[in-house]
């Protein structure tokens, strides 16, 4: 996936934050949106709680590959299962602010309506397991890292198609930098 544009010179390579949230319906007759992907730079938006957004941004981009999609649950895993969130910031408030930005059209995002299992796998840490009962057989099924990787690969395909012409716009009024033009 191409991530560097001429107006992004000098900026950190684009990395993406994926997070689940309370479902919403963007309009009548639409499907539920319960998961969102934004460019890391969106965390620097002036309407996102600061300095929390900037701290999460730094954690998100540190040591990542350009184009990498990082679920919020991966950050939680990296922060000792969430014990480190208090020193980084209020992720719940930040993600609420991000959803508000997306819904207002103040940034670009990939908004997804993921099935329950896919969403659960992305909400679980990278090495966690999700157990589900198969309705047909009554057996308990166990899903883990391999299935999570498959879901992330599917999200990556959607994102790659979306950013093929232009990367996700993080919005205007970013802290410490001018936003790339839309």
- What is the per-residue pLDDT across 144-172, written as a single tens digit (0 to 9) for each? 999 999 999 999 999 999 999 889 999 99
Residue 172 within any structural domain of the chain: no
Residue span of the structural domain in which 103 resides: 6-114+148-162
Residue 23 within any structural domain of the chain: yes
Residue 84 within any structural domain of the chain: yes
- How far is it, in rounded angstroms, from Cα 110 to Cα 130? 24
DSSP 141: E
Residue 87 within any structural domain of the chain: yes
Residue 169 within any structural domain of the chain: no
- Contacts (Cβ under 8 Å, ≥6 apart) of 59: 75, 78, 79, 88
- Average pLDDT over the chain reads 90
Residue 170 within any structural domain of the chain: no
Strands 110-112 vs 33-39: parallel, antiparallel or unpaired: antiparallel
Q: pLDDT by residue (tens digit) across 127-150?
A: 999 999 988 999 999 999 999 999
**How deeply is 128 buried, as exposed, middle or buried, from its count of CB atoms within 10 A (0-12, 13-18, 19+)?**
middle
Residue 124 within any structural domain of the chain: no
The pTM for the full model equals 0.88
Residue 132 within any structural domain of the chain: no
Split into its structural domains, the chain has a count of: 1
């Amino acid at each position: 996936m191409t991530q560097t544009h001429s107006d992004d010179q000098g900026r950190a390579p684009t990395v993406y934050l994926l997070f689940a949230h309370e479902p919403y319906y963007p309009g009548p007759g639409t499907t539920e949106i319960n998961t969102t992907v934004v460019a890391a730079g969106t965390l620097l938006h002036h309407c996102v709680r600061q300095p929390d957004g900037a701290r999460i941004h730094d954690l998100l981009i540190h040591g990542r590959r350009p184009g990498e999609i990082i679920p919020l649950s991966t950050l939680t895993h990296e922060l000792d299962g969430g014990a480190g969130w208090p020193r980084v910031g209020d992720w719940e408030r930040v993600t609420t602010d991000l959803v508000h930005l997306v819904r207002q059209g103040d940034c670009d995002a990939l908004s997804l309506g993921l099935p329950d299992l896919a969403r659960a796998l992305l909400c679980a840490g990278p090495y966690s397991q999700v157990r589900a009962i198969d309705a047909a057989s009554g057996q308990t099924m166990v899903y883990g890292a391999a299935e999570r990787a498959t879901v992330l690969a599917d999200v990556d395909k959607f994102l790659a198609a979306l950013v093929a012409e232009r990367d996700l716009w993080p919005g205007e009024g970013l802290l410490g930098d001018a936003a790339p033009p839309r």
